[in-house]
Amino acid sequence: MKLSYASTVPRQLVHRQSVGEVLLTDYRLRNDAADQIAVQLPASHRILRPTRQRHDPLIVAEAFRQAVMMLSHTKYAVPPHYKFLMEQFGFGILDELEIRSAPMPLILDMTTNHVETRDGTVSRVDIVGVLREGPRVLAHCSAVARCVTPASYSHIRAGRDMYIAHFRAKPPGSVVIPAPCAGRAEEQDVLIAANLPAGELYCAPDPRNYALFDRPLDHIPGMVLFDAAIQAVRYRANDPSLQLARLAATFPIFTEWDDPCDVMVSEAPAHGSFGRSCVTFRQSNRMTAQLEITTATSY
C-alpha cells in the first residue's frame, strides 16, 4: 500500500498550531524495516523561501524534526502533551532539492538506533532518517531527543515554562542587520542584531513573527537557532547567497528570550568548494548551543 499525499497528518502529532506548517502527509510503521513517512515540501514558504528554484535546506530539518515527534507519538506511544527537548540534531544535503510544477513525493526512511524508557514511558529517542525521492537520496538526518512530562518540564525550566516574549530583545547600541545581508527578504525575518562599533553579533528574533513562531514558546527553539546561525555566517562572510549543506548541533541548555545572546562565528579550513564554520550561542557566559556548519554558494 502506497503512502498518501492527499492531506497532512494531524498537527498535534508534530507540535504545530497551523495546519499550513505541517510537512508530513502519511506514515507506515514497520518492525522489520525502516519506518516510512511521506513528506511534501511547499513550493513557497513564508520564512524558508526557495532560492533559484531550490528549496531552503532548513525545510528538510523542519520536516525531520516533525517526523521525530510524530514517530515518538505513534510508534512509541509518547503522550501528545509531553515536551520534546532536542539534545543533538544534524542533517546533510546530498542532492538538489529542486522545485517542480508538482511537489516531489518524498519519503523519510526512519531508523531508531536507541530508545530509553522511564516509568514505562519512552524518555529518550535516538533516530536517523534518509530523505529520498524513489531511489534518489536527497539528505540524511539524525536527532537525539528527550521526551518529558509537563511536570518534569516545569521543574527543568525552574518556573520559566510560562514565560512569554512580546518584543524583540537586543542589547542597547545594537541594530538588526539589513535583511539582504542575512539572506532574507524582510526585516521581521532577520534573527541577528549587531553592535557595529564593537563588531559583536546577537541572536534577536522577533516573537511577533507569527510565521516563525506559530505558537508561544518559553525559549528560543533549535530551528530558530539554525536559521540565526546561517544568517550570522552570511553576514560575517558578506555573502547572502550561502546555503546550508551540513549542520551538526548540540544544545547544552535552553536559549532564553530575555538574556542577551552572543553569537560567535569562527571559520574552519574550507573543504573543497564548501565553507566551514563553528557558530556558538552564549548567554551569561554559558554556551546554550553550538553548531558545526558547512555551507555552499547558492545555485
The answer to whether residue 123 sits within a structural domain is yes
Asked if 293 and 229 touch (Cβ cutoff 8 Å), the reply is: yes
Which pLDDT belongs to residue 131? 98
Residue 104 sits in the same domain as residue 219: no
Contacts of residues 2-8 at CB distance under 8 Å and 24 or more positions apart, as own/partner, are 3/27, 3/28, 3/36, 3/37, 3/38, 3/105, 3/107, 4/38, 5/38, 5/40, 5/103, 5/105
What confidence score (pLDDT) does residue 277 get? 96
- Residue 198 sits in a domain of what CATH number? 3.10.129.10
Residue 5 lies in a domain: no
Examine the fold and report which residue of 157, 191, 214 is the final residue of a domain before the chain moves on: 157
pLDDT digits (tens, 9 = 90+) for 257-271: 999 999 999 987 777
- Considering the domain boundaries, does residue 4 fall inside one? no
Shared domain for 22 and 45, answered yes or no, is yes
Q: Domain range holding 271?
A: 163-297
Asked whether residue 135 carries a pLDDT value surpassing 80, the answer given is yes
Q: Are residues 189 and 121 in the same domain?
A: no
pLDDT in tens, 45-91: 777 777 778 889 999 999 999 999 999 999 999 999 999 999 999 99
Instruction: Please check whether residue 2 lies inside any domain of the structure.
Output: no
Quick one: pLDDT at residue 261? 97
Task: Answer whether residue 283 is part of any domain.
Answer: yes
Asked if the model's pLDDT at residue 93 lies above 80, the reply is: yes
Residue linked to cell 530508545: 115
Do 130 and 244 lie in a common domain? no
Phi/psi at 204 (nearest 5 deg)?
A: -145, 70
Tell me the percentage of the chain whose pLDDT exceeds 90.
Answer: 81
Q: Is residue 6 part of a domain?
A: no
What is the per-residue pLDDT for 255?
A: 97
Show which of 129, 157, 185 is a domain's final residue: 157
- Give this prediction's pTM: 0.94
- Predicted confidence band of residue 298 (pLDDT cuts 50, 70, 90): low
**138-196 confidence digits (pLDDT tens):** 999 999 999 999 999 999 999 899 999 999 999 999 999 999 999 998 999 999 999 99
With respect to residue 180, please indicate whether it lies within any of the assigned structural domains. Answer: yes
Residues 244 and 106 in one domain: no
Residue in the block written with cell 502519511: 26
Split into its structural domains, the chain has a count of 2
